[in-house]
Structure 1
Amino acid sequence: MSVSPGPGDRYVVGVDYGTLSGRALVVRVGDGAELGTAVHDYRHGVMDSVLAVDGRALPADWALQDPQDYRDVLRHAVPAALAASGIDPRRVVGVGIDFTACTVLPTLADGTPLCELPELRTRPHAWVKLWKHHAAQPQADRINALAHARGEPWIGRYGGKISAEWQFAKGLQLLEEDPEVYHRAERWIEAADWIVWQLCGVETRNVCGAGYKGLYQDGRYPSRDYLAALHPGFADFVAKIDGPLAPLGARAGGLTARAAAWTGLPEGVTVAVGNVDAHVTAAAARALDPGRLVVIMGTSTCHMVNATELSEVAGMCGVVDGGISAGSWGYEAGQSAVGDIFGWYVAHAAPAGYASHEALTAAAAAQPVGAHGLVALDWWNGNRSPLVNHDLSGLIVGLTLATRPPDVYRALLESTAYGTRMIIEAYAEAGVPVDELIVAGGLTANALLMQIYADVTKRPLGIIGSAQGPALGSAIHAAVAAGAYPDVPAASAAMGRVDRDVYRPDPERARAYDALYAEYRRLHDHFGRGGDDVLLRLRAIRNAARRAVDHDPAG
């Protein structure tokens, strides 16, 4: 495939907003060739300990961001990617956006973020709440309990539990902890939709975010009566998120003059409806057919699969009609921490001599399955699926004085594979088939990890043929929005890429992992399903101790 621009070629730009940075990718419409890319790091990163504007301490489990960092990606990464590609920007026909989700912010009716109002700059609840803001777990617990008590029909579409990460839990936390900011918020919007609004001046809501993160099912949100029963002041919440929903691959509008100046693109260029980073990657990986589980592995992991039939899968993040591509039921599950766990160990726990992933991986790869005598629970950032409880925490069982850093590292790698197998088995038990894994994300570079996943899950594992899966997926949707293809599957077939069956399960190792996985399941159910709530009690003790320090005048 030639990656040189041609005189008659048309191009699209995909912009992928991650946890710490945004990436722009210039892609040729005809064949998906990637011609230029650039990354811009968020200046404020993740605010999880202090608010950047005044240094005030944030409570436990908070994670905030600055929306100006998102605009800066458009101002820096997009022009840099265009320059790197060597193309004429006038040949660009569309722009597509994806975002980590649920990342949500309160705004005025014109889209102005509340944190940019001078009088609200120092109010933490006025800022963007990143996907991994988990401080709304008490609100999520109440939302779930009331939904089951009332027999709300939508709760089954989310595996019986909604997440603390999602729009309604975060919105209820806002109301209860800062009612003034709640009432000032005229719109409560996913960051993907907000960025599209910034680009084309038109507010749109994408069906993916609304369905998976906003509880939109069968043409409606949860009822006003239900919301009022949660809190009388919450009855009007839907008014802050309601609006016409747009299908994935649709045109949201044209680039405004202001956004054209930011990006270096011509005014009026098509802007596609926003999307979620995990879901958009399925198109990039040519994985829209049923049975192909897309596993997007980075700081966390998302598991996406299409199916022809509707099923309710216990503990999953959700099932949405057209949530991945039109005409299929899209299923989502996830793990709240994967790469973050490995990074934590390297940065904070591994001693000198093992202070890199490469060194630990090389040593761990020399071990036979089970030689370390360890099993870990991969709950360093809670459990997204199937337990949907972000108050849970991680665990390593089997440590001795003979345990060495590579032993722990391999056990952590394996624990995340066990978590993925739990998800696959939950899908299968509900009648949603998973025949193969297609992995995307930065962790695909770790061959040991990929082979562990193939062995543990007993399924062939392919690798997406792009290092920029979400950005390529957004570019594919931009091509559809611009009219270059009739639908997303057609664009995916032409522009996506995947290397199938790169890793195959080894029967002997797979049998050895069955025994370890059985121990993982016992621990999983004991500590996660009520056998012993010690992890929850420890978190409560920790939170109480931190609050005491925060409120100590002498501190």
Structure 2
Amino acid sequence: MSGVDGSGERYVVGIDYGTLSGRALVVRVRDGAEVGSAAHEYRHGVIEDALPDGGPALPPGWALQDPQDYRDVLRHAVPAALADAGVQPSRVVGIGIDFTACTVLPTLADGTPLCELPELRRRPHAWVKLWKHHAAQPHADRINAVAHERREPWIGRYGGKISAEWQFAKGLQLLEEDPEVYRRAERFIEAADWLVWQLCGAETRNVCTAGYKGIRQDGQYPSAEYLAALNPDFVDFVTKLDGPLLPLGERAGALSAQAAEWTGLPAGIAVAVGNVDAHVTAASAQALTPGRLVVVMGTSTCHILNGEQPAEVPGMCGVVDGGISPGAWGYEAGQSGVGDIFGWFVAHAAPAGLDSHERLTELAAAQPVGAHGLIALDWWNGNRSLLVNHDLSGLIVGLTLATRPPDVYRALLESTAFGTRMIIEAFVAAGVPVTDLVVTGGLTANRLLMQIYADVTNRPLSIIGSAQGPALGSAIHAAVAAGAYPTIHEASAAMGRVQEGVYQPDPRNVRAYDALYAQYRALHDHFGRGGDDVMLRLRAIRNAAVATGAQADSVLEAIG
């Protein structure tokens, strides 16, 4: 991708921080044209087995990252994107970032990450906890149980359950497993807000992550009495979260001299308030209108939807006033594993000769709906919505000696579409309309998968007109922060793009999938809603065996 620096043109930079890398995108303010981009992979990737440089091993369910990898994206991806665009840095008027969430880190009051202090370098809880850090599930369970016991008014805004991925579960785990690191943490901050702090030298918090990931509703966090009921030493947790709270699209500050040196951009340009990768994509997909469900598909999937009124939707990640765009109630739901599931099958289960997405998709596409005789549950990485339980696991029913790899692959594709349908039906049942889907992310290239989603949900499916939806969304917010547009809606209309109605439901497939979906739903409710907790028992046996090194029968006896 390359562009020409036209006379008088203004540009903005959007940076999308993903699970494994960060991507910078240079965008023309006038029309949203993407003129240059570059990516930088994190040197440490996802830290799951042991801390770097000979640090201690990590228990099951941990997922950490190194904040230095995030700074390196600024140093490498932004200058490379400018060079790719052929744009003079002086033409850039603003920068914005988005991040996977809840990705959160403990810091000192000046923003120094605790993992960068030599004395804490070998303490796992001093590091960034990535969104898919699921080791705080017991703490999330207690957060939810106490909230319901006390009839906390905010719990309904989160579908009745707080996720193990969110700030309070990770914070409570930090307190109870490493109290010293907890005490040293003067701030507990989303990576998006921390990066904005690094860019402009001012600590801010954005309403999106504060609302969805930080249990901030109606202008306040949970009460001190509630926190004390969880743990008396947890009462001060809110002070670690509290900072200047700004709406989306606002200017957080001016690019500092240090950040200008990192990025090659002019000091003093606008730095937009941070955002979440999925939520910021609604602007680039021109999907801020209530009823348009944005389906951000990657390693996991996030479902984003604006509504006109607040409603309590069981199993949702949350509803937040202004959480997607000012003036609307933003809803979030999600699936913890989607692309990761397909990738797992190709990497670890498909035989040689069939170990590619392209070949498996080609063979799976030749099948009539239901011909494989399989139903799968899409819980390879737990369930985010509707069950909010990351101890759940995957399942395939119907395997026979006649089953072949393309059969299983197609069943896995379909399982994720069924999971999305469960979420849509929960929205509709709560009075939140879903008229159509706008899909974004790398998985949009799989035409079979897209048609399956249209057929399973029985709704038209549009495709975002950008391969870099989150980065474009961040650039749109940067344009608003720089004063180029008065509102996110106006910037979205001018700079966003979408291909309308690319996939339409096939009535024959819709009927066939209705029958399969009924079986998926029966399995979903049986294994996820108390019919049989075998998945939870198996996870407990596995975790105990890994932690103690004992044989499974001894572990089983120990846990009863």
What's the TM-score once normalised by structure 1's chain length? Answer: 0.98
Report 1:127-276 matches (<5 A): 127-276=127-276
Q: Quote the residue 2:554 is aligned against.
A: none
Q: Residue type matched to 2:163 in 1?
A: S
Tell me by how many angstroms 1:66 deviates: 0.1
Instruction: For 2:541 and 2:391, locate their aligned partners in 1 and report how far apart those are by CA, in whole Å.
Output: 12
Unaligned runs of 5+ in 2: 552-560
Q: Quote the residue 1:403 is aligned against.
A: 403
Instruction: For 1:307 and 1:61, locate their aligned partners in 2 and report how far apart those are by CA, in whole Å.
Output: 34
Tell me by how many angstroms 1:316 deviates: 0.3
8 Å CA contact 1:211–1:320 kept in 2: the answer is yes
8 Å CA contact 2:3–2:87 kept in 1: the answer is no
Tell me by how many angstroms 1:54 deviates: 2.0
Q: Quote the residue 2:422 is aligned against.
A: 422
Unaligned runs of 5+ in 1: none
Q: Quote the residue 1:307 is aligned against.
A: 307
8 Å CA contact 1:53–1:122 kept in 2: the answer is no
Percentage identity across paired residues of the two chains: 80
Instruction: Note the aligned Cα RMSD (angstroms).
Output: 0.9
Task: State whether structure 2 residue 452 is matched by structure 1 residue 452.
Answer: yes
Instruction: For 1:356 and 1:498, locate their aligned partners in 2 and report how far apart those are by CA, in whole Å.
Output: 29
Instruction: For 2:418 and 2:307, locate their aligned partners in 1 and report how far apart those are by CA, in whole Å.
Output: 23
Q: Quote the residue 1:357 is aligned against.
A: 357
Q: Quote the residue 1:342 is aligned against.
A: 342
Q: Quote the residue 1:72 is aligned against.
A: 72
Change (3 A) 1:351 1:549: same
8 Å CA contact 2:379–2:392 kept in 1: the answer is yes
Q: Quote the residue 1:502 is aligned against.
A: 502
Report 1:427-506 matches (<5 A): 427-506=427-506
8 Å CA contact 1:53–1:121 kept in 2: the answer is no
Classify the secondary structure of the residue corresponding to 1:15: strand
Classify the secondary structure of the residue corresponding to 1:153: coil
Instruction: For 2:539 and 2:325, locate their aligned partners in 1 and report how far apart those are by CA, in whole Å.
Output: 39
Per-residue CA deviation, residues 68-127 of structure 1 (Å, 9 max, x unaligned), is 000000000000000000011001000001000000000000000000000000000000
Q: Quote the residue 2:11 is aligned against.
A: 11
Instruction: For 1:96 and 1:53, locate their aligned partners in 2 and report how far apart those are by CA, in whole Å.
Output: 32
Per-residue CA deviation, residues 223-279 of structure 1 (Å, 9 max, x unaligned), is 011001100100100000012210000000011111000000011111000000000
Q: Residue type matched to 1:277 in 2?
A: D
8 Å CA contact 1:45–1:65 kept in 2: the answer is yes
Q: Quote the residue 1:521 is aligned against.
A: 521
Instruction: For 2:55 and 2:466, locate their aligned partners in 1 and report how far apart those are by CA, in whole Å.
Output: 39
Classify the secondary structure of the residue corresponding to 2:373: coil
Instruction: For 1:296 and 1:133, locate their aligned partners in 2 and report how far apart those are by CA, in whole Å.
Output: 20
Q: Residue type matched to 1:168 in 2?
A: F
Tell me by how many angstroms 1:196 deviates: 0.2
Instruction: For 1:244 and 1:55, locate their aligned partners in 2 and report how far apart those are by CA, in whole Å.
Output: 35
8 Å CA contact 1:196–1:252 kept in 2: the answer is yes
Q: Residue type matched to 2:452 in 1?
A: I
Q: Quote the residue 2:291 is aligned against.
A: 291
8 Å CA contact 1:12–1:94 kept in 2: the answer is yes
Classify the secondary structure of the residue corresponding to 2:119: helix
Tell me by how many angstroms 1:287 deviates: 0.1
Tell me by how many angstroms 1:4 deviates: 3.5
8 Å CA contact 1:251–1:481 kept in 2: the answer is yes
Tell me by how many angstroms 1:550 deviates: 8.6
Per-residue CA deviation, residues 20-56 of structure 1 (Å, 9 max, x unaligned), is 0000000000000000000000000000111113242
Tell me by how many angstroms 1:3 deviates: 5.1
8 Å CA contact 2:203–2:244 kept in 1: the answer is no
Task: State whether structure 2 residue 50 is matched by structure 1 residue 50.
Answer: yes
Classify the secondary structure of the residue corresponding to 2:115: helix
Q: Residue type matched to 1:369 in 2?
A: V
Tell me by how many angstroms 1:544 deviates: 1.1
Q: Residue type matched to 1:418 in 2?
A: F
Per-residue CA deviation, residues 158-216 of structure 1 (Å, 9 max, x unaligned), is 00000000000000000000000000000000000000000000000000000000000
Instruction: For 2:303 and 2:550, locate their aligned partners in 1 and report how far apart those are by CA, in whole Å.
Output: 38
Report 1:99-110 matches (<5 A): 99-110=99-110
Classify the secondary structure of the residue corresponding to 2:380: coil
8 Å CA contact 1:386–1:422 kept in 2: the answer is yes
Tell me by how many angstroms 1:547 deviates: 1.2
Per-residue CA deviation, residues 455-510 of structure 1 (Å, 9 max, x unaligned), is 00000000000000000000000000000000000000000000010000000000
Number of equivalenced pairs: 550
8 Å CA contact 2:3–2:85 kept in 1: the answer is no
Instruction: For 2:277 and 2:337, locate their aligned partners in 1 and report how far apart those are by CA, in whole Å.
Output: 16
